[in-house]
Structure 1
Amino acid sequence: MNAPAASHPPSPHAVYLGHLKEGRLAYQFSLAAGRPVFFPRVACPYTGSTALEWRISKGLGTVYSSSVLYPRDGEPYNVALVDCDEGFRLMTRIERIPPQDVAIGMRVRFAVCAADAEEPCPVFIPMDAS
C-alpha cells in the first residue's frame, strides 16, 4: 500500500504570482526584522527567520532610478527601480509614457502587465495617467 503523497505549501514565488494574477502587488513582511521583504523568499534576508507574513501593497511608489534601453530591433523601453510606499524597492518598467519621460522622483501606481507573457509582471504607470 502506497502512502499518500505529502502536500507541500506553495512556493513564495507561486503565492506572489497568484496575487499578481488577481491584480495585487504582494510582498512579505519579516516579523523578526520589522521590515518588508521583496522579492519573495522562504527566509528573511536580515535575520534568517522563516516568520514571514504576506501583505498587499497599496501600489503607490516613487521612481528611484530609470534607464532607457535601445534594442537593435524594436522600440526603446525603460527599466526602473521603484520605491514602494511600504518600504521595499523593485525593478520594473514605467508604462503609458515615452521611456525618456520617466523622471526620478515621479509618483507612480501599480498595474499588471500580462500581455504575451508566460507570467504576469508588475509594472507602474504615472499617477496622473488614466
Structure 2
Amino acid sequence: MTTETQTPTVKDFPTATLVTAGPWASGHQLDPRPALVVGPWGGADFADEARMVVVWYYTMGIPVPGLSVQAMFPHELTPLDDTLTTMDQGTFCDIAASLTLGRFAYDDGRDLIDAVNRAVRERIEAAPATRRS
C-alpha cells in the first residue's frame, strides 16, 4: 500500500498563516524560526500562478525585503497550529508594532496589515473584561 503525500502549494499558505522556516543569510540557510506569510510572491494578483510565498521572519526585526522578508517555496514552510488571534499576547503586540515600521516590496504587506488589524479587533472582542470604557 502506497501513501501519497501532497506537495504543498502557495494556496496552502494564505496571508497571515504562522509558519516555521529557515531564512537565508549570506547564501546559507539558517535554523528554522517563526514567520508570518505575507502572501504569494508577486502579490495577490499572481496567487494562481505564484510558486513562492513571501514570509516575514518577525523575530529578525521589522519587515525589510531580503533580510527579514524573503520568498520561500511552500515545501520549505511548516504551518503552526496558532493564529494571530490565539498567539502569545506579547509576541502579537511586537508584531503589530513592528509591522508598520518596516517595508514590503510592491506594497505586498497591505493584506498582512489588514489581517493584523482584524486580529486586534478579534482579541478585543474575545476579552471584553479587559477593555477600557
The verdict on a shared fold, with TM-score over 0.5 as the criterion, is no
Name whichever structure is richer in strand by fraction: 1
Rg (Cα) greater in structure: 1
- The structure, 1 or 2, with the larger RCO (C-alpha pairs under 8 Å, 6+ apart) is 2
